[in-house]
């Protein structure tokens, strides 16, 4: 195994330690890492893509690596974008330069940044939905400012699938996923 491959894996592991910075501006205790966010983007992109005539491998590769350059550039929140510039293209090329098929990965990420394909647009919307999932939890936890962020991000969604997900998210409760099991557990406790 090449040392450059191991180096790449250590760089990937750094994403678990690097936190998304926008949450610090909003407050409310969210400490989501870039790796945690990328996982959610990949899951959401998969859910959005299944059953559609799109390239699922391409979607998942873009989702998995869409923020990988942040090991080198850091996570720059929207406010900072008004004042800073980073060379994301160089960071992407350098990060993947020693991997097999690096041109394929860098090409997909360039496509993502430019929003050239349906797959890239879907992943951009999955990225936004992942943010909205976190915002919904913060709203339910009492963060009064998260609602403004949620509304603005939902309005930015481009695909019909993401817009439908966004509407469902607003009407949902983050604890509903295990509602049936909670009732079962409560009933078992009452029986004891």
- Which residue carries 């990225």 as its tokens? 127
pLDDT digits (tens, 9 = 90+) for 13-34: 999 999 999 888 888 778 999 9
pLDDT digits (tens, 9 = 90+) for 74-111: 898 888 888 988 899 999 999 999 888 899 999 999 99
The reply to whether the predicted model has a pTM over 0.85 is yes
- Which residue carries 């936004």 as its tokens? 128
3-class DSSP assignment, residue 112: helix
Task: Estimate to the nearest angstrom the gap between the alpha carbon of 105 and the chain centroid.
Answer: 18
Query: Alpha-carbon distance 179 to 101, whole Å?
Result: 44
- The pLDDT score that the predictor gives to residue 1 is 62
CATH number of the structural domain spanning residue 42: 1.10.3210.10
- Cα separation values, 145 from 21, 26, 29, 32, 152, Å: 16, 7, 13, 18, 12
Q: What is the mean pLDDT of the chain?
A: 93
Give me the number of domains the chain comprises: 1
Domain of residue 23 covers 3-191
pLDDT digits (tens, 9 = 90+) for 99-152: 888 999 999 999 999 998 999 999 999 999 999 999 999 999 999 899 999 999
DSSP string, 18-32: PBPSHHHHH-SS---
């Amino acid at each position: 195994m090449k040392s450059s491959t191991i180096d790449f894996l250590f760089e990937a592991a750094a994403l678990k330690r690097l936190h998304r910075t926008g949450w610090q501006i909003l407050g409310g205790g969210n400490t989501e890492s870039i790796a945690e966010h990328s996982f959610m983007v990949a899951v959401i992109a998969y859910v959005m893509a299944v059953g559609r005539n799109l390239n699922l491998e391409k979607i998942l590769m873009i989702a998995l690596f869409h923020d990988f350059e942040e090991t080198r550039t850091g996570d720059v929140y929207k406010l900072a974008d008004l004042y800073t510039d980073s060379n994301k293209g160089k960071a992407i090329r350098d990060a993947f330069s020693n991997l097999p098929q690096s041109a394929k990965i860098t090409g997909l990420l360039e496509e993502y940044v430019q929003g050239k394909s349906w797959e890239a647009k879907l992943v951009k919307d999955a990225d936004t939905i992942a943010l909205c999932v976190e915002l919904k939890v913060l709203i339910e936890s009492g963060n009064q400012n998260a609602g403004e962020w949620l509304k603005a991000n939902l309005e930015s969604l481009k695909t019909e699938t993401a817009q439908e997900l966004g509407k469902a998210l607003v009407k949902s409760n983050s604890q509903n996923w295990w509602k049936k099991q909670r009732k079962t557990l409560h009933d078992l406790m009452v029986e004891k």
